[in-house]
Chain A
Amino acid sequence: MKILVTCKRVPNPEQKLKLAGGKIDLTGATWQINTFDEYAVETALRLTEKGKGGERSGEVVAVAIGPKDVSQQLRGVLAMGADRGLLVAGDDGALDADAVARILAKVVEREKPDLVILGKQTVDGDSNQVGQILAGLLGWPQATFLATIRVAADGKSATTTREVDAGVEEKRVRLPAVVTVDLRIIAKKAVRNEALAGADAEWEETQRYASLKGIMAAKKKEIKELTPAELGATVSPLVRTLSVEAPPARKAGARVGSVEELVAKLHNEAKVI
């Protein structure tokens, strides 16, 4: 099967966010692939594998939108094992979810994947919208915040589980479809393509890291550069950020000398136990 997977770059969440003049100051920021997109890549790769380290069948195409620098994140995804990359030129900081989804819809028209996999949200914008908007624009079914996915042997449907407020929902979607993935998708047996992998197939409980061999192989893989105009997409964001400020800072409290003192304070002073 052919899978399109998104990889947005985000500022490293391990670095302190700098705010200046009502904006997020990204000078000096180091970039990495959005964590949930990294899980999406892992999901896509597992769906093209017979098992951990097993033979592969199918194609995983990674798409990013942004300046040329984003080819670094794409190259990283190719080193994980994705087959080729697409880099759509754009000012990623100025795009809203609608604009991103409209560009992706054009990429889908061009690539005709069986499945599009995205992270459930980016860890900077936190909007949690792109997958759903994309599915709406395409008129495709959607399954969001996935904990597991199993593609049927005939490749015509996928059965998923997703965390909802009432518990765990089991949802089946016809393919092609758009899915977004959550934390649990990297569990050992969370992902399986029945056409390739048996019920006993399992992977490491983590997203894979690029091996040296993968990094070498990635250098030879194609990253095609495109513009929204070449794709036939018009970019006009509907949501604009006017200003950004820091939330009220939290003050450090007191040190306690013993467990007894801690429990007494939690009970008598904070009244939380």
Chain B
Amino acid sequence: MGAVLTFCEISGSTIRTASLHALTAARELAGKHGGPVVAVVIGQGVGAAAGDVARYADRVLAFDDARLGPALAETYAPLIAAAVGTAGATAVVGTATSLGKDVLPRAAALLSAGMASDVIRVDGTNKFRRPTNAGNALSDVEIASPVVVISVRQTAFAAAAPAATAGKVEAGAVGAVDALGADVLGVHATQSARPDLGEAKIVVSGGRGMKAGENFKILEELTDLLGGALGASRAACDAGMVPNDLQVGQTGKIVAPQLYVAVAISGAIQHLAGMKGSKVIVAINKDGEAPIFQVADYGLVATWESAIPALIAEVKKLKAAAG
């Protein structure tokens, strides 16, 4: 009969969309634990946001303090651990966002709790499914500790809808706040006209077949025309053609856009692992035997030198026709 504590991230006076997905998983898990969903909100001046979070939870514990303004794992994790005691929780749920990934394992350490990351399915009070090996395997795991901690992959759970009646908001006891000498000096929004590789709806990636870094300019042109993000294979990064942070693959970034265009990429296993969750995959390669064609919805056997300028022209025509 334990509660399910849910770490809810906020933005201004509202809950972050990412946390709505955690609340759905939390509601499901609460059904199995037989307790309420208790949301935890942490920050400075969180009153309005806590009220918003209350629409989705049975109860809200709001930790509000000037020292909690910077989102620090060092100060947030002990409050989550303390809230587990306050709420009588047997589970902690959050979303695998950058903050969730930073804070939740630290909270698990303080609770001596086992944790499953990137959960995509709740199978029991302590049983969960999660992808491993960059999505090449789905692992069913069981957590043995009295309190279980999970981060959920937000695409695997729907966003929660408000409940019929809002939960009650209570102030959590903040107590001593020790950042252990850590400090956030600033957060700078990325100054890029292009969407983030991990979140873009369209990704255009180039491989070793692009031959040189300057040849990526034509891929950038296509990328910008489509409003997408630029990626690359590990081979292209290792060859120094593009920076390493463009790397898509098991050893780079895992992407799942609506459209993935692989240009001059042969399709090494570790690359496929990073992009095969994409909705539609296009492969353009001069080698018709390249493994990338085995996962492509649309394959075009052609050199990039001939195909990409033609593709740019066609997309421009399409855009012009759409007015």
Instruction: Tell me the complex Cα distance, A164–B108, Å.
Output: 21
Residues of A within 8 A of B98 (CB): 145, 162-165
- A146-166 residues at the B interface, CB under 8 angstroms: 147, 157, 159, 162-166
Decide: A13 and B109 in contact? CB cutoff 8 A: no
Decide: B105 and A238 in contact? CB cutoff 8 A: no
Decide: B300 and A13 in contact? CB cutoff 8 A: no
Residue among B99, B189, B251, B281 facing the most chain A CB atoms (10 A cut-off): B251
Residues of B within 8 A of A143 (CB): 182
Instruction: Tell me the complex Cα distance, A187–B168, Å.
Output: 49
Residues of A within 8 A of B282 (CB): 262, 266
10 A-B pairs with least C-beta separation: A174-B181, A238-B114, A136-B109, A253-B297, A132-B105, A13-B270, A129-B105, A141-B182, A35-B251, A259-B310
Q: Which residue of A lies closest to B253 (CB)?
A: A183
Residues of B within 8 A of A168 (CB): 187-188, 190
Q: Which residue of A lies closest to B18 (CB)?
A: A165
Residues of A within 8 A of B253 (CB): 183
Other contacts beyond A126-B118, A128-B101, A273-B318: 7, CB < 8 A: A13-B133, A126-B130, A126-B133, A132-B105, A169-B184, A240-B143, A246-B138
**Residues 161-181 of chain A: 1 if any B CB is under 8 Å from the residue's CB, otherwise 0?**
011111111111110010000
Residues of B within 8 A of A252 (CB): 293-296, 299
CB distance from A249 to the nearest CB of B (A): 9
**Residues 2-40 of chain A: 1 if any B CB is under 8 Å from the residue's CB, otherwise 0?**
000000000001111101000010000000000110000
- B262-278 residues at the A interface, CB under 8 angstroms: 268-270, 273, 276
Residues of B within 8 A of A250 (CB): 276, 281, 295
Decide: A125 and B101 in contact? CB cutoff 8 A: no
Instruction: Tell me the complex Cα distance, A68–B36, Å.
Output: 48
Decide: A101 and B109 in contact? CB cutoff 8 A: yes
Decide: A17 and B136 in contact? CB cutoff 8 A: yes
Residues of B within 8 A of A136 (CB): 77, 105-110
What is the predominant secondary structure among interface residues of chain A facing chain B?
Answer: mixed
- Taking a contact as CB atoms closer than 8 A, the residue among B226, B252, B293 that contacts A183 in the complex is B252
Does A225 lie at the interface of the complex (its beta carbon under 8 Å from any beta carbon of B)?
no
- Taking a contact as CB atoms closer than 8 A, the residue among B108, B189, B240, B318 that contacts A267 in the complex is B318
Chain B residues with CB under 8 Å of chain A are 18, 73-74, 77, 97-99, 101-110, 112-118, 127, 130-145, 179-190, 202, 226, 238, 240, 243-245, 247, 249-253, 258-259, 268-270, 273, 276, 279-282, 293-302, 307, 310-311, 314-315, 318
Instruction: Tell me the complex Cα distance, A214–B185, Å.
Output: 39
CB distance from B225 to the nearest CB of A (A): 10
- Taking a contact as CB atoms closer than 8 A, the residue among A123, A172, A183, A247 that contacts B250 in the complex is A123
**Residues 56-96 of chain A: 1 if any B CB is under 8 Å from the residue's CB, otherwise 0?**
00000000000000000000000000000000000000001
Q: Which residue of A lies closest to B117 (CB)?
A: A127
Does A137 lie at the interface of the complex (its beta carbon under 8 Å from any beta carbon of B)?
yes
Decide: A239 and B314 in contact? CB cutoff 8 A: no
CB distance from A18 to the nearest CB of B (A): 10
Does A53 lie at the interface of the complex (its beta carbon under 8 Å from any beta carbon of B)?
no
Decide: B181 and A206 in contact? CB cutoff 8 A: no
Residues of B within 8 A of A243 (CB): 139-140
CB distance from A174 to the nearest CB of B (A): 3
Assign chain A's interface to a size class. Answer: 35 or more
Q: Which residue of B lies closest to A139 (CB)?
A: B180
CB distance from A166 to the nearest CB of B (A): 5
Residues of A within 8 A of B307 (CB): 259
Instruction: Tell me the complex Cα distance, A125–B139, Å.
Output: 10
Decide: A184 and B244 in contact? CB cutoff 8 A: yes
Residues of B within 8 A of A133 (CB): 105-106, 108-109
Decide: B189 and A135 in contact? CB cutoff 8 A: no
CB distance from A218 to the nearest CB of B (A): 23
Decide: A140 and B243 in contact? CB cutoff 8 A: no
Decide: A128 and B188 in contact? CB cutoff 8 A: no
Residues of B within 8 A of A241 (CB): 139-141
Given known A-B contacts A129-B108, A142-B73, A164 and B187 have beta carbons under 8 A apart = yes
Residues of B within 8 A of A96 (CB): 114
Instruction: Tell me the complex Cα distance, A68–B279, Å.
Output: 43
**Residues 111-136 of chain A: 1 if any B CB is under 8 Å from the residue's CB, otherwise 0?**
00000000000011111111111111
